[in-house]
Chains A and B, each alone.
Chain A
Amino acid sequence: MTIVADGTQQDARPRASETAHRYRDPLWLLSLAMVVILGCLVLPPFFTLVRNSLFELTPNGSTGAFTLDNFARLAESGKVLQSAMNSFIFASLSTLLAILLGGTLAWIVERTNAPFRDLAYLMTVVSLSIPGVIYVPAWLFFLGPTGPMNDVYRTLGGSGVLFNVNSMAGMVLIEGFGWIPLTFLLFAASFRSANAELEEAAIMSGASVLDMMRRISIPLAAPAGLAAALFVFIRSLQAFEIPKLVGTGAGLSLLTTDIYDSIRTVPPQIGHASAFSVALTGLVAGLMFLYSRLALNASRFATVTGKGYKPRPLVLGWARWVCGGVVILNVLIVLVLPLLTLLWIAVTPFVRPVRLAAFSSLTGENFALVLSDDRYLELITNTLTVSASAATVTMLLMVVCGWLVARRRVYHAVLDQMTALPMLIPSIVLSVAMMDLALRSPIPLYSTLTIIVIAFVVHYIPFGMRYTFTGALQLHKELEESAGVCGASPMVMLRRVVIPLLLPSIIAGWLFIFLNASRDLSTAIILSGPDTKTIAVAIFDQAINGQFSEVAALGLLWSMMMSVVAMAFYFLVQRRSGGSISF
C-alpha cells in the first residue's frame, strides 16, 4: 500500500529566484510561445472591451470622444446598491446550488457503488447539447403559472400558484440547474484521479462516511471546487438573459438587467455592457488573487503519484440507494423535466397547458416541418467542423498552458491571467472584436469558418484551462521527474507522460467545448456569413420568426443528433484507450 502524499513538505514552488529560473527553465521557449499565442488571441478583444467602455460610438461604428458615461450609467439608476445586492445573491445562490448538486453527484458517481451511476454521464452529454434558447423557456413553462407543477398543485385543491417562477428563487433555480453539468464534470475529473486510499484509510480508522466526506473527500476536491465555484460565480454575475427573462416579471433589478436591452438596441450600445465587464474585471481580479494564493499550495493536492494508483469505489450499504436517488433526482432536474416539457411543446399545435383533453390534438407536424427542410445538411457539416476544430485547438493549447501554470513554470502568472481574461468578455464584444480583426486581417478571414473557430477558441480558453489545470494539479511531480532522470527531454516528457495522464481531463474538456460551441448562438450569428451558416443560424431564424413549438422541435432534433455524435465519440475513445477513459 502506498503512502499518499499529503505532501506538505514537498514544495512545488521553484526554489531558485524567478530571474535565475527564467534562464534555467528548459521550457522557457515553450512558455514564451504560449504567452505570444495567447496574447494574440486574448488581448485584442480585451482592448476592444476597454476601448468600447471608454469611448463614444459614432454612427459609422468607429470610436468617438472619450467618455465616462458608460460607467456613470452603471451607477445611474439610484438603486445600484439594491441591484448589486440582488446580483450578488443571485450569483452566490446559483453557484451554491450548482456546486452542491453537481459536486455531490460527481462524488457518488466516481466514488461509490450507488446504482444508476452511468446515467449521470448520459445526462451530462445530452443536456450539454440542448440549446439555451429552448432550455430557459422550457423551465419558464414548467415552473410557470400554467405549467404542470402549479397545475398539479391546483388539482390537489390549492389555489393560485405553489411556486412563483418570476422570483429570485425561480432565477436561481434555472441558472443553477444550467450549471450542474459543468460542475459535475469538473468535480468528476478531480474525484476520478484523486487517490482513494485516503478515504479507505479513513474508513478503516473507523470514520463514518459523513466524517470521511467532511474531512477527506471535500478537502481533496477543494481546488477543483474552488475553480468551478469561481467560474460559475463570475458567469452568473455576468448573465443577463435569465435576470431579464425571469426577473422582469418580479420587478427584480440586477446589475445586468439593463444590459440585455442595451445590446438589443439598434445600434447596440456595446459600451454599456463593456463598462460593466471592465468594472467586474476589478472585482474578479481580487477573487483571482485569492484563488492564486490557494493554488500556491498546489502540491498538497497532488494525489496521482508514481506509486500505484487505481481509485476503488467505496462500497456503501443501504446508503447506496439514497445515493442512487440523488443521481435520479439530478437526471430528472437536468434532463427529464426540461426534455419532457419541450417534447410537450413540440407536439402540441400551439403552446397550451398539459391537459388530457389536449392529447387528442397532438401532432408531429413541427417535427415533419424541420425534417422536410433540406438545407440542414450544409448547416450540420459547418457546425460540426467549427465545433470540433475549436475544441481541438483549445485543448491542445490548454493542455500545455494548464501544465505550465500548475507547475509554476516561467511566465506562469502571465499565462494564468491571460487564460482567465476571456471569462470577462461578453460574447457580443468578443464577436465584434473578432469581426474587426477579420476585416483588417491581410489574410482573408471575414465570413470564413476560420474566424468563427478563432472566436470559439478565445471564448472557451477558460473552460479548457479549468480541465487541464485541475488535472495537472493532481499529477505529482515525481512522475515527470523520473522521466527526466531517465533522460527524456521536456517535450518528450510532456508527450509521453503528462498528456497521457491528462487524457481523461483533455477528452472531457474537448467534449464540453465541442457540445457548447455547437449550440452557441450569439457568437455564431454575428460571425457567420452567407456561405458559413451554422445550425445556430437556423435556430435563430426560427426563434425570431416561428412559433415556439417549431423552435422546440428543431432544438430537440438537434440535441438528439449531437447526443448521438458525442456518444459515438465517447465509445470510440473508450475502445481505443482500452476502456480506461470515462469522459
Chain B
Amino acid sequence: MQTRRNILKLAGAALAISAVGAFAHAEPSAELIEAAKAEGEVVWYTGLIVNQVVRPLADGFAEKYGIEVKYATTSDADTLLKITSQARAGKIEADLFDTPGTAIAPMEAAGLIEPFVPDALANYDPMFRPESKLYDGIYTLFLTTTHNTDLVSAEDAPKTYEDLLDPKWKGQMVWSDTRGVSGPPGFIGNILKTMGEEKGMDYLRKLSAQDIIREPGNQRVTIDKVITGQHQIGLMTYNHHAVISQGKGAPIAWIKMEPLVANLGAIALVKGAPHPNAAKLFLEYLFSVEGATIIRDANYPPGNPDVPAKEPSISPITGNFTFTLLPPEVASQDAEPLKTWLKIYDELF
C-alpha cells in the first residue's frame, strides 16, 4: 500500500544514484552475452506502442549486441491464449511478454513464468522487482481525476475524494468500464485501502448516488469524452494522457487527488522460452539507462531512478504526490481482492 513512504524511498533511491552508479551501469556478464548471441534472436509479445517504444528498443538492442528482437503486438487476453496454447503443444514461441499487470497471475497459474530479475534492476525501487521475481516493473502510470478546463475552472474543480460527493457533480462524471485495476475496481480498491473497510464502503455508497457515467472503451476514450466537453470530470484517467493532450492545446487538466492510483507496466520471462539467454540480456538492456531513456522519450515515467521523467509533474518524486500501487498481484480478475472490488462495482455502479 502506498504512502509517502514510497516516495521517500523513491527519492532516497534517486539520491543514492552516485553511490550505486558504478553498479547500476555494470555491463551484463560476458557469458550471458555469448550465450545470448549463440541463440541469435529473442521473441517478445508486447502491448507497448510499437513506433515509440518497441522498435527503438529492438533497434538499440540489435545494434549493441547483434541480436534480432522479433516482436508481435498482442493484448493481454491474446498473449495468454497464445502462450498457453503453445505450451500445451510443446512449441513455445515467445520468450518475453509484457502486461499492464492482468496477465501475470493467470500465466503463473498456468506455470508459464520463469522467475528472473535482471541485475540492472538493482537500483530501482523495490516495487519494480517483487520478491517473487515473477515480473519486472518497467514503469508506473498514474490514474487520477481530470477536468475539462473550459467547463470547470481550476478553483471549482474537486480537489479531494470528498469533493466528488458534491451534488453539483451529479451526472457530470465519467469513468471507463474497464474491469481491472486501471478502471473503477481500482478506484474502489484505492478508497478501501485508504479509508478502511467501513468508511470506504460508506463513501462508495454515497458516490454511487452521483450517477457516474460508464464509458465503454479504455482510459484514452474516457479522457477524450472529457476533452470534447461531453462530460465535465473524468475519473481514473491517466495523468500523462492529460499532459500530452494539454500540450496540443486541449482544454484538460489533471488534479492531484491523493492518493493517486499507480498501475505497474510489467514484463516477464516465459518458462521454457526458446531463447532464455537472449531474453535475459534484453531485460538487462531494457532496464539500463539506455533502455529507460527510450521509455522516457515515449512519455512514460520510467522506473529507472537515473532517468527523470520527461514531464516532471507526472512522476511522484518530481511531481510530489502520494499514490496507492495496485501491482500485478492484485490485478487478477479471478482472485481476491479484485474479485471483491468487481462485486462492489457491479452492485453499486
Contact = CB atoms under 8 A, between A and B. Distances in A.
Contacts of B51: 373, 375
Nearest to B104: A266
Interface stretch (A36-44, A279-287, A387-395, A431-439): A431-439
Contacts, number: 146
A384 to B, nearest CB: 19
A152 B77 CA distance: 41
Nearest to A147: B228
B248 A350 contact: yes
Contact of A525 (B75, B93, B180, B228): B75
A546 B49 contact: yes
Contacts of B50: 375, 538, 541, 545
A350 B245 CA distance: 7
Interface residues of A, number: 50
A439 B91 contact: yes
Contact of A61 (B70, B81, B218, B248): B81
Contact of B103 (A266, A435, A446): A266
B109 interface: yes
Given A266-B333, A353-B229, A526 B73 contact: no
Interface string B198-240: 0000000000000001111110110010011110000000000
A528 B72 contact: yes
Interface stretch (A171-179, A242-250, A326-334): A242-250
Interface stretch (B8-16, B82-90, B116-124, B256-264): B82-90
Nearest to A261: B179
A435 B47 CA distance: 20
Interface string A515-529: 000000000011011
A432 B81 contact: yes
A61 B216 contact: no
A245 B216 contact: yes
A266 B47 contact: no
A537 interface: yes
A404 B230 CA distance: 55
A530 B71 contact: yes
Contact of A265 (B77, B110, B177, B229): B77
A435 B81 contact: yes
Nearest to A146: B228
Contacts of B229: 146, 353
B77 A266 contact: yes
Contact-residue size bin, chain B (C-beta under 8 Å from the other chain) = 35 or more
Contacts of A265: 77, 179, 333
Nearest to B49: A545
Given A59-B109, A61-B110, A145-B230, A349 B249 contact: yes
B85 A349 contact: no
B76 to A, nearest CB: 5
B106 interface: yes
Given A61-B110, A525-B74, A544-B47, A268 B84 contact: no
Interface in A423-437: 432, 435-436
B336 interface: no
B80 interface: yes
Contacts of A263: 77
B73 A266 contact: no
Contacts of A146: 228-230
A249 B221 contact: no
A137 B86 CA distance: 35
Contacts of B72: 528-530, 533, 537
A478 interface: no
A361 B248 CA distance: 9
B48 interface: yes
A244 B44 CA distance: 31
B216 A244 contact: yes
Interface string B58-73: 0000000000001111
B177 A267 contact: no
A351 interface: yes
B85 A529 contact: no
A263 B78 CA distance: 10
Given A59-B109, A59-B110, A267 B74 contact: no
Contacts of A144: 230
Given A59-B110, A351-B228, A267 B81 contact: yes
Contact of B84 (A60, A245, A351, A546): A60
Contacts of A60: 84, 87-88, 110-112
B93 A548 contact: no
Contact of A530 (B43, B86, B217): B43
A268 B306 CA distance: 38
Contacts of A353: 228-229
A351 B227 contact: yes
A266 B47 CA distance: 14
Contact of A266 (B102, B220, B221): B102
Interface string B280-298: 0000000000000000000
Interface string A346-374: 00011111000000010000000000010
A61 B85 contact: yes
Interface string A122-156: 00000000000000000000001110000000000
A531 interface: yes
Nearest to B177: A248
A447 interface: yes
Interface string A390-421: 00000000000000000000000000000000
Interface string B37-59: 00000011001111100010000
A432 to B, nearest CB: 6
B76 A266 contact: yes
Interface string A250-274: 0000000000110111111000000
B81 A548 contact: no
Given A61-B85, A266-B103, A266-B333, A352 B250 contact: yes
Contacts of B77: 263-268
A361 B249 contact: yes
Contact of B224 (A59, A533, A548): A548
A62 interface: yes
B43 A440 contact: no
B197 to A, nearest CB: 26
A309 interface: no
B249 to A, nearest CB: 6
Contacts of B71: 530
A540 to B, nearest CB: 6
Interface in A154-175: none
7 contacts: A266-B80, A349-B248, A435-B82, A446-B91, A525-B75, A541-B50, A545-B49
What 10 pairs across the A-B complex have the smallest Cβ distances?
Answer: A61-B84, A439-B89, A530-B70, A59-B109, A545-B49, A349-B248, A350-B250, A266-B102, A60-B110, A268-B77
Interface of B: 43-44, 47-51, 55, 70-78, 80-82, 84-89, 91, 93, 102-103, 106, 109-112, 177, 179-180, 213-218, 220-221, 224, 227-230, 244-245, 248-250, 332-333
